[in-house]
Amino acid sequence: MHLTHLECPRCGLDHPADKLQNLCGCGSPLLARYDLAMVAATVTPEQFGLRPADLWRYRELLPVADPRFVTTLGEGWTPLWHARAYGHEIGVDELIVKDEGLTPTGSFKARGAAVGVSRARELGVERIAMPTNGNAGAAWATYAARAQMGATIAMPLAAPTICRQECVAAGADLRLVDGLIGDAGREIAALVADSGGRVFDAGTLREPYRLEGKKTMGYEIVEQLGWQVPDVIIYPTGGGVGLIGIHKALHELRELGWVEDRLPRLVAVQSTGCAPIVRAFAAGEARATPWVDAHTVAFGITVPAPLGDELILTALRESSGTAIAVDDAEIVADLRDFAAREGLLLCPEGAACLTAARHLRAGGWIRPGERVVVLNTGAGIKYPGLV
Ligand SMILES: *Cc1c(COP(=O)(O)O)cnc(C)c1O
Ligand SMILES: [Zn+2]
């Protein structure tokens, strides 16, 4: 394993990676760091192509030392589909959808759960706990079951029923909360504090390894495009883990010397009903202020106060990207239009990225001929009431 330490992106303090860690003392999430020179000396990009089609093909860049702790259900290596008909319609001929709907548990949360649960097991965790908008809880409950680990999941009552059912099926201790994800977070914080160290807080960005699982989307996009970076990557942003992860992955690939010295422009998409990142980006702020009265059909991106706000905003600015809010009615219309034209039923969060692509192309921010990758973060069939 080439993991060396955990680094605080805010105060710069290093923390050891061989014991359980949550946030830095300064309150920031921690980032896993690797000896990339050693990685480059150990493996070449071509070798990945010979390995199994899951995210563990990037094991030199992942935090699990002993393969016995790898907990897997076959997550990763999801397809890139060229959306010719829909792309032509909106003036983006090179519109590519990465379909995370094919991931175990029906959302890309499985990537974070696979790596997060594996590393937690390796470090001796017996029970994890987290607040969730649904998909993360479903994924972590599922992978925890696979790892013979306990899981306590707190979820808003309004979250998709299927995610509750997945938690129950996986044997998790499910707590339904009459409120938003922040309220669920308070319940979990109290439970972890009272557990005397027996329950590990695996909430979004509260431990460093979920991010490592999600960053593999960035490696895959680049590898699947023949070790080329696209011009634009559009991501439905709630907690922002995927966006921060893709940004981190691109930097690692650059430092490894495996891609050209150019970053894709990263786009954070939010709903007009919950857009703290869009507001902070437009105002030029370094941090986001909490969004009041959050509501949207794209439940996975209903995060009024993301813990990773600084990291998200840095990734957007550093990549010359942008942040855009889209309307629920347009999300649903684009979801239907895309399904009819392309035969792929997206989740509303993925459809929000199409709406964003349409507006960004119409406004000229996306230029003719640019290659645009959109993340469909979950399976449309998890939201049967939407169409
Ligand atoms: C969680 C989730 C998101 C947002 O992911 P972040 O990485 O936390 O921003 C987007 N789409 C779906 C379907 C989700 O479940
Ligand atoms: Zn710090």
Ligand nearest to the CA of 274: 1
Instruction: Indicate which atom in ligand 1 lies nearest the CA of residue 348.
Output: 13
Start-to-end CA distance of the chain, whole Å, equals 46
CA of 18 to the centre of ligand 2 (A): 18
Find the 44 Cα to ligand 1 centroid distance in Å: 31
Looking up tokens 């097991």 gives: 121
Q: Could you name the CATH architecture of 80-107+210-382?
A: 3-Layer(aba) Sandwich (3.40)
Confidence of residue 315 (pLDDT cuts 50, 70, 90): very high
Specify whether the backbone of 257 is left (phi greater than 0), alpha (psi in -120 to 50) or beta.
left
pLDDT band at 235 (very low <50, low <70, confident <90, very high): very high
Residue with tokens 């030199």: 60
DSSP class of 27? S
Over the range 215-246, which residues count as b (16 or more CB within 10 Å of their CB) and which as e? bbbbbbbbbbeeeebbebbbbbbbbbbbbbbb
The whole-number average pLDDT for the span 221-246 is 98
The rounded distance, in Å, linking the Cα atoms of 165 and 167 is: 5
Every domain of the chain and the residues it spans: 80-107+210-382
Q: Tell me, in angstroms, the distance from the centre of ligand 1 to residue 203's CA.
A: 13
Q: Is the pLDDT assigned to residue 51 strictly greater than 90? A: yes
Q: What is the pLDDT of residues 11-45, one digit of tens each?
A: 999 999 999 999 999 999 999 999 999 999 999 99
Ligand 1 atom nearest to 245, measured from its CA: 7
127 lines ligand 1 (CB under 6 A): no
Give the integer Cα–Cα distance in Å for 114 and 146: 10
Say if ligand 1 is within 6 A of residue 100 CB: no
**340-384 confidence digits (pLDDT tens):** 999 999 999 999 999 999 999 999 999 999 999 999 999 999 998
Give dist(CA 303, CA 300) in Å, integer.
Answer: 8
Residue nearest (by alpha carbon) to ligand 1 atom 1: 300
Q: 292-331 burial, b for 16+ CB within 10 Å, e for fewer? A: eebebbbbbbbbbbbbbbbbbbebbeebebbbbbbebebb
Atom of ligand 1 nearest to the CA of 241: 7
pLDDT of residue 379: 97
